[in-house]
């Protein structure tokens, strides 16, 4: 077996808040191999963005990794000094952000921002760096690179900005691309273009992609595997096909129901009522139980573990009943 590009094992992260220590991530594990694309899905506050920040050593000062290991190409990050860690991370990975305008430096020309890594990290000459930047611009679909080279971020449209951000991310020739909701701020047609671009990159150059989002449709479009995150843990993982057709966790089931279905003409938006649990308190029961349609008294006894169910993994005491949920839940909805 080959070494995965990245391997996260039982990662935990705590954040110091005014109301106490918040256990934002409570044991998260996954591997990425070349060409893999996984989607991490969850509500805001579920810990999906913190997971990315923890891996990329970008945690705010009030947060820290309290357990677990992260390996890049088999090298343990925790054993490295900050400088070496940063070097290993930037040699292998890159990230694109939700809001491209915030991720681009407002006072530097876009061409110079793209040429920066070849010039200052890889030590290429000025002309060579510019050439690389222009070819990257072409690669991410920015036409007329020569004339756009000297523009500033605010002079570009949202879609172009995100392309610039992707070009910058690719400038260090990464093996893994982390994406923090990069399509959320874009309108639907631009969103589709950016997704197509990411798909091409993955197919043509074997780029591994970790895609964090709350948009299930995007995951369906781009990813092979999906990890559903709730209250700092994965509650269901599996292939996109299996999870989307046969959800084995009530939370996934509700999310899928809540998502607007692009195939149907009527877009009905269900929301899951209730709030996510307070993670400054110890978790003694299933954290989803208060919002769950299938919850019973058993769910109050302990927190369920992630166990095989059908073709997926699910952390629910009632996952074996998943085949009946569609009828059960619709009855309940009618009763309400």
Q: Which of 165, 179, 255, 272 binds other proteins (CB under 8 A)?
A: 165
Contact stretch for other proteins (CB under 8 A) within 52-60, 73-81, 249-257, 311-319:
52-60
Kindly report the number of other CB atoms within 10 A of residue 270's CB atom.
13
Residues 156/164, Cβ–Cβ less than 8 Å: yes
Residues 172/178, Cβ–Cβ less than 8 Å: no
The nearest distance, CB 274 to other proteins, in angstroms, is 28
145: three-class secondary structure by DSSP = helix
| DSSP state letter for 226 | E
Site for other proteins in 129-148 (CB under 8 A): none
The nearest distance, CB 166 to other proteins, in angstroms, is 11
The nearest distance, CB 97 to other proteins, in angstroms, is 4
Nearest to 60 by CA among 49, 72, 68: 49
Cα of 195 vs its chain's centroid, Å: 14
Is 15 a binding residue for other proteins by CB under 8 A? The answer is: no
Q: Which of 1, 2, 19, 61 binds other proteins (CB under 8 A)?
A: 61
Kindly report the number of other CB atoms within 10 A of residue 58's CB atom.
13
Cα of 280 vs its chain's centroid, Å: 23
Q: What span, in angstroms and rounded, lies between the C-alpha atoms of 171 and 168?
A: 5
The nearest distance, CB 168 to other proteins, in angstroms, is 6
Residues 48/219, Cβ–Cβ less than 8 Å: no
Site for other proteins in 100-119 (CB under 8 A): 102-108, 116-117
- Nearby residues of 123 by Cβ (< 8 Å), 6 or more positions away: none
Q: What span, in angstroms and rounded, lies between the C-alpha atoms of 336 and 67?
A: 43
The nearest distance, CB 273 to other proteins, in angstroms, is 28
Of residues 108 and 323, the one with the C-beta less far from other proteins: 108
Of residues 171 and 312, the one with the C-beta less far from other proteins: 171
Is 121 a binding residue for other proteins by CB under 8 A? The answer is: yes
The nearest distance, CB 180 to other proteins, in angstroms, is 9
The pattern of x and - marking residues 251 through 290 that bind other proteins according to CB under 8 A reads: ----------------------------------------
Of residues 61 and 297, the one with the C-beta less far from other proteins: 61
The nearest distance, CB 59 to other proteins, in angstroms, is 11
Of residues 154 and 336, the one with the C-beta less far from other proteins: 154
Site for other proteins in 74-103 (CB under 8 A): 86-87, 89-91, 93-95, 97-99, 102-103
Number of residues lying near other proteins (CB under 8 A): 31
Q: What is the 3-state secondary structure (H, E, C) of 259-315?
A: CCCCCCCCCCCCCCCCCCCCCCCCCCCCCCHHHCCCCCHHHHCCCCCCEEECCEEEC
Residues 50/44, Cβ–Cβ less than 8 Å: no
Is 64 a binding residue for other proteins by CB under 8 A? The answer is: no
Tokens 């820290």 locate to 64
Contact stretch for other proteins (CB under 8 A) within 31-39, 43-51, 57-65, 200-208:
57-65
Q: Which residues bind other proteins (CB under 8 A)?
A: 56, 58, 60-61, 86-87, 89-91, 93-95, 97-99, 102-108, 116-117, 120-121, 165, 168-169, 171-172
């Amino acid at each position: 077996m080959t070494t995965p590009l990245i391997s996260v094992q039982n990662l935990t992260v705590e954040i110091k808040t005014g109301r106490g220590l918040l256990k934002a991530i409570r044991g998260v594990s996954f591997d990425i191999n070349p060409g893999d694309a996984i989607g991490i899905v969850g509500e805001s506050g579920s810990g999906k963005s913190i997971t990315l920040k923890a891996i990329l050593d970008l945690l705010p000062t009030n947060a820290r990794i309290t357990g677990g290991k992260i390996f890049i190409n088999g090298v343990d990050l925790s054993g490295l000094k900050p400088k070496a860690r940063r070097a290993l991370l930037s040699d292998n990975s890159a990230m694109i952000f939700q809001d491209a305008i915030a991720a681009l430096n407002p006072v530097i020309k876009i061409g110079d921002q793209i040429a920066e890594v070849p010039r200052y990290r890889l030590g290429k000459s000025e002309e060579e760096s510019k050439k690389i930047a222009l070819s990257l611009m072409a690669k991410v679909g920015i036409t007329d690179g020569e004339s756009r080279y000297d523009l500033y971020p605010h002079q570009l449209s949202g879609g172009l900005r995100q392309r610039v951000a992707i070009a910058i991310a690719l400038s260090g020739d990464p093996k893994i691309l982390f994406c923090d909701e990069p399509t959320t701020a874009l309108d639907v047609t631009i969103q589709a273009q950016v997704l197509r671009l990411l798909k091409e990159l993955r197919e043509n150059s074997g780029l591994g992609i970790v895609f964090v989002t709350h948009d299930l449709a995007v995951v369906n479009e781009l990813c092979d595997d999906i990890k559903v995150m709730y209250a700092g843990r994965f509650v269901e993982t599996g292939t996109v096909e299996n999870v989307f057709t046969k959800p084995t966790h009530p939370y996934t089931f509700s999310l899928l129901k809540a998502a607007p279905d692009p195939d149907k003409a009527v877009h009905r938006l269900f929301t899951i009522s209730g709030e996510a649990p307070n993670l400054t308190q110890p978790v003694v029961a299933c954290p989803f139980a208060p919002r769950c349609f299938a919850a019973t008294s058993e769910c109050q006894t302990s927190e369920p573990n992630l166990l095989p169910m059908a073709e997926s993994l699910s952390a629910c005491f009632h996952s074996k009943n998943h085949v009946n949920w569609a009828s059960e839940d619709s009855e309940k909805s009618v009763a309400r």
